[in-house]
Chain A
Amino acid sequence: MGWRRLIITVLVIVPILWLLAFGFTRDARYITSPLLAKEAAPFTITLFDGGQLRLSDLRGKAVFLNFWASWCVPCRAEAKDLEAAWQSLKEKNVVFVGVAIQDKDKDSRAFLEEFNVTYPNGWDESGKIAVDYGVWGIPESFFIDPQGRITYKHVGGIRAAMVKAKLEEAARGIVSAKEGKEDYQPIR
């Protein structure tokens, strides 16, 4: 009788404690993306240099797509690294695309100038591209394989070594099992 009661009590209490622990330990802001291994949403963006970039034109190349804002501290921290990665990879079959979101045109341009960013960057004024990619924190980076499929997503600042490694995987069409996470800032 005593054992039976004990087992019943444990069976009732353990799930409740598990639920509590689960609720307390998970990052309530974190949204796991359903986009891994899915086709990257097509978009056309006007670049800061006046040109136009269409994602569909980049088929056949591995694409590194980075969402950023000039007011975002982790974006500033990664900016130099990204430019360095671009400089070392630009001769290969890869393209870097930067998308400024929730920012002012003037501030974005100042940011690009400050960090001497040379890869194509544009401004997503309406936020439609950000919604299309399920962006919720910045910086957020997406790696797209030559067939136009998202192979990896990274929320937060990213290092040059990681960019290179994940672009290599993207070039070979290898989809990561999980997305990456570093210091990020929620968008506004």
Chain B
Amino acid sequence: MLGRLFVIYLLLVNPLPAATAPDIDEQTQNIAKELRCVVCQNLSVADSPSEMAQQMRGVVREQLQAGKTPQEIKDFFVSKYGDWVLLAPKTQGFSLLVWLLPFVVLVVGIALAFWLVRRWSAKKTKIVASSIDSDLLTRVRNEVAIGKAIDVDPEDSSLGAQLEQDRARLYAELKELEFDFQAGKLAESDYAALKVEIESKAAAVLRQIDSLLPPQPAVERRLSREKKLAAETNKKTYRRWQLAAGGSFLLIFGLTLGMLLTHSLRPRESAQDSITGDFLTGTGASESARFLQEGKSAFAKQDWPRAIEGFKRALAADPNQPEAHAYMGFILIQAGHADGALMAFDKALGLAPNLPMALWGKGMTLYQGKKDYAAAKELFEKLLQIMPVGAERVEVERILAEMPQSGQKPRQQGDKASPATPASQQITGKITIDPKLKASPDNQAVLFIIARPAGAAKGPPLAVKKIDRPVFPLSYSLGQENVMMQGASFTGSVAVTARLDKDGNPTTRQPGDLTGDYKKGSVAVGSKNIDIVLDQVVR
């Protein structure tokens, strides 16, 4: 009973620590440290300042408060994002390899280094030993083994006597070494190394002694010397070649690796571009992208000649590069060529219908250059659909708000019509391809509908309408908005022709282009059903 009361007393005095707020914070932080932020690169959820990481920390906290264990919470995130979400991979399955591999590599590396050192030192000993004639070595060993008595005359100072003294000393050293080894005073490796060293010295002395002996028959001696010399020369040459080849290989390898590595990285092109490998990995910026980048840098510095050069080269490398077309459009506007700019923007939009810069550029050219408010408005509205909230969007909205209503035009610019041109100032009709022409039209071809003043077969046209990738039969209308020359008006009698141009260049005619004209001759502006059949092929 007393014991029970004591326990109750203790509980009252020291209540069990509840899951207090600081604990939860700490636990949240600890779990967040082990989770990878899904919108960052190699940052933990604890370290990332991103909104997503904050939300993930919120989820961790909530689950802790609901009584889940850290492991359960981590498992929850793994079930949503996969093992990727764990900063430290699991120690099971395939992920185990990530943990083990460094150690395996370390052990293998140490073993390899050890083996290489062993092999290298063994080779060195072998080389020392093999540089001495093996017959002489055998002779040394035999003489030491049988304890051959050597006559030494300490009074004799001749070379032969000196050598004999050395021989006797070295034989004595060998015997002593043997004795020390047998007595256990020497390690086996030391014994072997010293033995080889002394034996080699003794063999060298023996060779010198032999050379002092009466000479061998001259021919035999010469032959043997020549043979030895040739072998040594061969060996030296081979060694030199080996060194040269090894050196060259290392140099080339180093240079190649250096070059490849510097070229295997490139800066990110956008926030979504997380691949920074280059040509090595087949994910490099293309030639066209490189030139485009050059052009853009020059454009930013307003260095127009270099910018033009860059964009031209980008387009030469890839004619379907919409951004380069759009930039060319901006440069043409700067130079006052609104028509050229419109063509460039059209090309860009033909390739990327939602390219914001091309929509903006074409819109502004139509708005300010051509006063074609209806068309400009359409483009700006399209641009607004894809533009996120921000200063740029506000600017587009402002322009739209300030823009006169479609069809409305300033009086001084009365010669330029909007698409709302009255029917009385238009020529309308259909264009078809003569079925007898077996050549099927090119999908990329551009149709030009041209109106020239009646009787003027050559010279600049009065009005031109350009239609990318036309689909036949095609209904058309030609009006004031298509007039080429500022100040001219679309009135009177005109001759209408059409050309389906393969390369889209209005100034050139290429073999294979299809042409046709209105067979009944000139027509008055305001005429309807001016149907044209494309029935001639440019040869």
Binding site for B on A (CB under 8 A): 20-21, 23-29, 31-35, 70-73, 76-77, 79-80, 102, 107, 114-115, 126-128, 130-134, 136, 183-188
Contacts and interface: CB of A to CB of B under 8 A. Distances in A.
Given A187-B51, A188-B52, A77 B386 contact: yes
Interface stretch (B74-82, B134-142, B464-472, B496-504): B74-82
B274 interface: yes
B272 A24 contact: no
Contacts of B385: 76-77, 79-80, 114-115
B238 interface: no
A41 B79 CA distance: 11
Contacts of A133: 80
13 contacts: A24-B280, A31-B85, A33-B81, A34-B82, A73-B386, A73-B387, A77-B386, A114-B385, A126-B55, A127-B55, A131-B56, A132-B80, A188-B39
A21 B281 contact: yes
Contact of A27 (B84, B275, B389): B275
A134 B51 contact: no
B389 A70 contact: yes
Nearest to B271: A186
B59 A32 contact: no
B493 interface: no
Given A73-B386, A186-B271, A28 B41 contact: yes
Contact of A136 (B38, B41, B283, B389): B38
Name the residue among B41, B50, B52 with the largest chain A CB count within 10 angstroms. Answer: B52
Nearest to A127: B55
- Interface size range of chain B in the complex: 35 or more
Given A25-B281, A32-B82, A186 B39 contact: yes
B374 to A, nearest CB: 21
B512 interface: no
A25 B282 contact: yes
Given A102-B51, A102-B52, A29 B272 contact: yes
Contact of A184 (B58, B78, B80, B272): B272
B55 A34 contact: no
Contacts of A187: 38-39, 51-52
B277 interface: yes
Given A71-B388, A76-B388, A126 B276 contact: no
A69 to B, nearest CB: 9
B432 interface: no
Interface in B76-94: 77-82, 84-85
A108 to B, nearest CB: 11
B389 A107 contact: yes
Contact of A24 (B59, B79, B276, B354): B276
Contact of A128 (B59, B84, B264, B275): B59
B386 A76 contact: yes
Contact of A34 (B81, B272, B282): B81
A131 B389 contact: no
Given A184-B272, A185-B272, A188-B52, 16 more contacts: A24-B280, A24-B283, A25-B281, A26-B275, A29-B272, A34-B79, A70-B389, A73-B388, A102-B51, A114-B385, A128-B55, A133-B80, A136-B39, A136-B81, A183-B272, A188-B51
A23 B84 CA distance: 15
Contacts, number: 108
A32 B56 CA distance: 18
Contacts of A107: 389
Contacts of B62: 128
Residue among B56, B80, B272, B282 with max Cβ neighbours from chain A (10 Å): B80
User: Nearest 9 pairs between A and B by C-beta?
Assistant: A24-B277, A127-B55, A24-B281, A134-B80, A136-B38, A28-B274, A34-B82, A188-B51, A71-B388
A26 B82 CA distance: 17
B52 A127 contact: yes
Nearest to B354: A77
A185 B270 CA distance: 11
A115 B382 CA distance: 12
A166 to B, nearest CB: 21
B390 to A, nearest CB: 8
Contacts of A127: 51-52, 55-56, 58-59
Contacts of A24: 264, 275-277, 280-281, 283
User: Taking each of B85, B272, B276, B389, which has the highest tally of chain A beta carbons within 10 Å of its own beta carbon?
Assistant: B272
B227 to A, nearest CB: 27
Contacts of A115: 385
A12 to B, nearest CB: 10
A26 B264 CA distance: 14
A74 B277 CA distance: 25
A186 B80 CA distance: 17
B113 to A, nearest CB: 15
A127 B38 CA distance: 13
Contacts of A72: 388
B281 A33 contact: no
A176 to B, nearest CB: 17
Contacts of A26: 275
A126 B282 CA distance: 41
